[in-house]
Amino acid sequence: MKYKKTLSAVIAVSSVYLIALPQAPAEAASNELVYAVSLGEVLTGTAPFDTESGPGLDTSPTDNVLRSHDTVTWEVAVSANSLVGESGTANNATITFALPDGLVWNALPAQCISPVDGPPSQISPDERTANCNLGDIPLGSSPVVTLSAKAVSRPDGTQLTFAPDAISFRSDDPDTPAATTAPDEITISSAPRLNMTKVPNPYVTTNVLGPDGVTRGWSVQYGVTVSVPGLNTKGLRGYQTPDQPVTFVDDLSGISPNAQLLEVRGSDITNHGEFPGFSRGSTTVNQVANGGKWSASVDPLNPQLVTVSISQADFSATHLPTHARNGSVLGDNKGYVTMGYVLVFVPLNDVPGYEAGAGSINAVNQIRDLEANGTNVGGALIPNTGEDHSDNTSTAKLTISVQGSMSKRFVDIINNPTRPPHLPVGGTADRSGDGPLSAGQQVQSQVSLQNVSTSTPLSDVRACDIWDSTAMSLARFRTAPSGAWAWPSGSEGFPAYSRNDALKGHFEYLTDYELSDNADTRWQQMRAFTCEDNLGTWTDQATALADPDFDLTSVSAVRFIADNGATISAGQTNVLLLVNLERKPDLAAGTIVANMAGWSASELSGGTYRRAGYDPVTNEELTTPAGIATTGDRMIAVDAAIGIAKTVESARIAAGSSGQFTLTPRVLDLGAAGSDTAETVTVTDVIPSGLSLIERDTTIQGQPVAAPSHAPSKVTIHEDGSTSVTWSFASIRRGQEPVITYSVQAANTARGDYVNSAVVSSPSDGTSPAPGTLPVLANDRHLALATVSVDGVSGIAVSKVALNPIVEAGEDFSWRVQVANGSTVTTQSNPTVIDVLPYLGDDGSGATARVPGTTNTAQFRLAGPAAVPAGATVLYTTDDARAVQLSQDLGAAAHADFGSGITWVGYDTVANQLDQVTAVKVTFAAMTPLSDASFTYTLTHVSGEEGGIWSNNASFRTAEAPSACSRIP
């Protein structure tokens, strides 16, 4: 028999319960209403815990000992009851919780709301009093709210005592007295925990004058950081702010016999962008809050013994940088509070073999004796516990040698003149190779030359810059460079110039030199380029520009030749050469546009030209093990460059509630005409498991929630529970970009942080990823992330999702049921789910009735056994569906009656009658605190009318907690 394909909508319904805890007695008011408030689980501390007790340590979450900077949580259960059995609500049911000095509130959970007609949920300015308005709660209900606070730094052994009425609960009723209670006393455990580190690879400057103004040598900057260790593991738990000044001793004797202190300073650490920056008052993500004043005193009997003092610093660790100066995320398990350096002069004649112009020494510097102490409540000294002596030494190898270096990159000094490394618009990072380049766009090739020799100047310097002349042309600046990039006198209007005229010389243009049309051959030509006179016709820049018939587009390379006698002096002198280039039209989007450079000096390898070794395909250096691009860079041709931004309306939501995201695809302004429209734009948003897309206008927890502002072209629910949502646009024009808003609902089982990612792609942007795929580079403009934190339920919860919301006859459709143990200490035993399949009349079956109920008269059958995790058991029944539905007793004393009276059998028994199965029962292994589990089963839609819905729910309970019902459409 053939079935006509029909469409049916599927709605999932799941069950959840708010824990009911013992209620404290309270007096009845004249209106016969009574409040109750009590404490459930109280956890003084969070994992990891310590194996032994002592200052700054805590061995258990239930011992009323709390480490400074650790979190204490209270489950507060409240209720409002009518003494005469009346129904109704208690309006603006509000918990007020006052803390003693030494504790401050964390953010309120999302269950605390601020209704228009009621007092707002808020934390007082001193952060010690919380008001949590639960809104209107039904009389007889007992919601549970988890509130958390953090201990600030206090002396070890400090006792925190709560007022007798620290917790109170009441509603709008003016005649009913508040119910009150108080937590037990808490004891603070704390100790200073700082680690001092000598930074590897000190910054060395050569050919400097010593303090006597005569002797030459090196200045060596030994960086020092002070941090809270174990930040990613232990965090700040147990950390006590130390007394000031914090001091340490720096021993210079291991550096060289005549090493001298030049300076001690709190500062950024030069050439170490992997650390955060120093500041005296900052809240930015890449700087310490206040690194304080660094000073030094020299031992009069031993000038190489230096005591460093740090005072006026912020060691509270309340603001710790999360990013380094180079923009990377800090991941070294340290919370930086200050950093600086000890600057030391090492004379050249301390190196054996100096007279012969060769030799080296290992300048070893060691710091020791860190003093960063605190106190206990009685005033006794608590020593620092964080020092690791294994990282207190740093070595600089000082070598008498002749060395030079060169680096090459694309920059945009016109549109990005002040932010090093002066990236062209849309580039992810320095030489990341993904910068977009549109027709007519101008960028600059920057060549940097350095002399890192000990004392020898570099002469007869020659540098050559060669670009892909099939894609780019030499061009005059459309906008004059300004500020620090302004042309030196005599170079005004020149496409190529030396910044600040640091090395006297002139530029020459190469013509009559052609690159191959084949990309691989062309790039090999560029790598083999030697800057020789016989490669074509070289014309002095001034001469070429003075000739009105000279065609700049015919130039294939530019070289710089230093004047006779001009040198790059020793000591890392930096010479910057700039060449202005413009992209040609008619390049296919995605074309690689490469640029390379090389150089020579008489003192380096006998004056041999150092050619480029760059591979534009991989964006890597071929001649170095690390492969980091140094002699070349690339950009990618685009018709239009796109990016995307993403925001979340509320960073915290409650389990079961909704949250809204906003996506804004955009077309970047690259400063060139004709690149303002991107064609065939695809936006793909990946919603993680635990959040589900709301596709239609609806109401959630009494609040209206709108469908997406732009209808998705495709919605896919994946096996891992995540959802891909795709929007497609024929084109997007700059200034008229669409703004996409959509909402998600958090599952009743959701808890913690959920990272939501969105990607934009278009064939107009050759640097964009394929639709739906993630970019390779971090911070890629085509990728946007937003995080929403979900406050989970305190007890147990169940959620359910239909993996195929729309099905046709003959198709399979699946349901995923997920359960969670929201308790932080209680293991849930015998966790059992009963899932009754859809049936007509399921909207009238008592406490587990489905709203909306099933309306489709379709026929379906179980497709096969349910997929359950290890340790779980699954049973089936063919009993009457209504009887099974009614067997799900949700009462607090009905654990033994959950599914009783029903015949439950294994899969083998029903394998030949799958169309008769009416329900599934799954029992999981014991669930540890804050764990979840799930199972999936599949039905086959055999036949049915077009339209209508199937409704489905799952009920969940354990031996320790009762269950209740919640619905997720």
* pLDDT number for residue 168: 97
**Local structure of 180: helix, strand or coil:** strand
Band (pLDDT 50/70/90 cuts) for residue 45 is: very high
- Concatenated DSSP letters of 115-158: -TTSPPPEE-TTS-EEEEE---EETT---EEEEEEEE----BT-
* pLDDT number for residue 303: 92
Q: Looking at 78-82, 533-537, 791-795, 836-840, which range is the least confident one?
A: 791-795
Please indicate whether residue 113 or residue 1 has the higher confidence score (pLDDT): 113
**What percentage of the chain reaches a pLDDT higher than 90?**
67
Structure tokens at 931: 């764990």
Computed on alpha carbons and rounded to an integer, the radius of gyration of the chain in Å comes to: 35
Nearest to 787 by CA among 934, 648, 610, 608: 648
Neighbours of 300 (CB within 10 A): 7
pLDDT in tens, 462-491: 999 999 999 999 999 999 999 999 999 999
Mean of pLDDT over the chain? 88
Spatial distance between the Cα atoms of 899 and 877, rounded to a whole number of angstroms: 11
Q: Is the pLDDT of residue 774 over 50?
A: yes
Band (pLDDT 50/70/90 cuts) for residue 120 is: very high
Please indicate whether residue 899 or residue 762 has the higher confidence score (pLDDT): 762
Please indicate whether residue 608 or residue 849 has the higher confidence score (pLDDT): 608
Spatial distance between the Cα atoms of 459 and 575, rounded to a whole number of angstroms: 13
Strand ranges (E), 740-839 = 740-746, 752-761, 783-791, 796-802, 806-808, 812-821, 832-836
Band (pLDDT 50/70/90 cuts) for residue 722 is: very high
For residues 736, 740, 741 and 742, what is the CA-based torsion angle, rounded to 10 degrees? 170
Neighbours of 98 (CB within 10 A): 16
Q: Looking at 531-545, 694-708, 829-843, which range is the least confident one?
A: 829-843
Give the residue-averaged pLDDT of 899-912.
94
* pLDDT number for residue 949: 65
* pLDDT number for residue 962: 45
* pLDDT number for residue 9: 31
Give the residue-averaged pLDDT of 890-896.
49
Band (pLDDT 50/70/90 cuts) for residue 964 is: very low
Q: Is the pLDDT of residue 42 over 80?
A: yes
* pLDDT number for residue 86: 65
- Using CA atoms, how far residue 90 sits from 120, 170, 174, 224, 878, in Å, is 16, 9, 12, 60, 43
Question: How big is the CA angle at 621 (ends 473 and 509), to the nearest 5 degrees?
Answer: 25
Give the residue-averaged pLDDT of 693-700.
92
pTM beyond 0.75, yes or no? no
> 120 preceded by cis ω (within 30°)?
no
3-state secondary structure 849-876: CCCCCECCCCEEEECCCCECCCCCEEEE
pLDDT in tens, 53-87: 999 999 999 999 999 999 999 999 888 877 665 66
Spatial distance between the Cα atoms of 712 and 690, rounded to a whole number of angstroms: 20
Spatial distance between the Cα atoms of 43 and 60, rounded to a whole number of angstroms: 9
Which residues are within 8 A (CB) of 229 and not within 5 positions of it... i.e. 6 or more apart?
Answer: 193, 194, 195, 333, 334, 386, 388
* pLDDT number for residue 41: 86
Which DSSP category does 514 fall into?
-
- Using CA atoms, how far residue 24 sits from 5, 76, 188, 303, in Å, is 59, 11, 28, 71
Give the residue-averaged pLDDT of 399-407.
88
Q: Is the pLDDT of residue 7 over 50?
A: no
Band (pLDDT 50/70/90 cuts) for residue 895 is: low
pLDDT in tens, 140-190: 767 888 999 999 999 999 999 999 999 999 999 888 899 999 999 999 999
Please indicate whether residue 88 or residue 884 has the higher confidence score (pLDDT): 884
Give the residue-averaged pLDDT of 954-968.
60
Nearest to 561 by CA among 607, 623, 622: 607
* pLDDT number for residue 654: 84
Q: Is the pLDDT of residue 782 over 90?
A: yes
- Cβ atoms of 457 and 569 within 8 Å: the answer is yes
Q: Is the pLDDT of residue 594 over 60?
A: yes
Band (pLDDT 50/70/90 cuts) for residue 809 is: low
Q: Is the pLDDT of residue 255 over 90?
A: yes
3-state secondary structure 81-99: EECCCCCCEECCCEEEEEC
Band (pLDDT 50/70/90 cuts) for residue 967 is: very low
Give the residue-averaged pLDDT of 653-664.
91
Which DSSP category does 485 fall into?
G
Per-residue b or e along 45-84, where b marks 16 or more CB atoms closer than 10 Å to that residue's CB: bbeebbeeeebbbbeebeebbbbbbbbbbbbbbbbbbbee
> 245 preceded by cis ω (within 30°)?
yes
Please indicate whether residue 194 or residue 817 has the higher confidence score (pLDDT): 194
- Using CA atoms, how far residue 406 sits from 218, 423, 465, 615, in Å, is 22, 18, 12, 17
Q: Is the pLDDT of residue 101 over 80?
A: yes
* pLDDT number for residue 843: 62
* pLDDT number for residue 19: 29
Neighbours of 820 (CB within 10 A): 29
**Local structure of 916: helix, strand or coil:** helix
Largest CA distance in the chain: 107
Give the residue-averaged pLDDT of 555-579.
92
Spatial distance between the Cα atoms of 68 and 59, rounded to a whole number of angstroms: 14
pLDDT in tens, 907-940: 999 999 999 999 999 999 999 888 889 999 998 8
Question: How big is the CA angle at 235 (ends 271 and 101), to the nearest 5 degrees?
Answer: 120
Structure tokens at 101: 């000095």
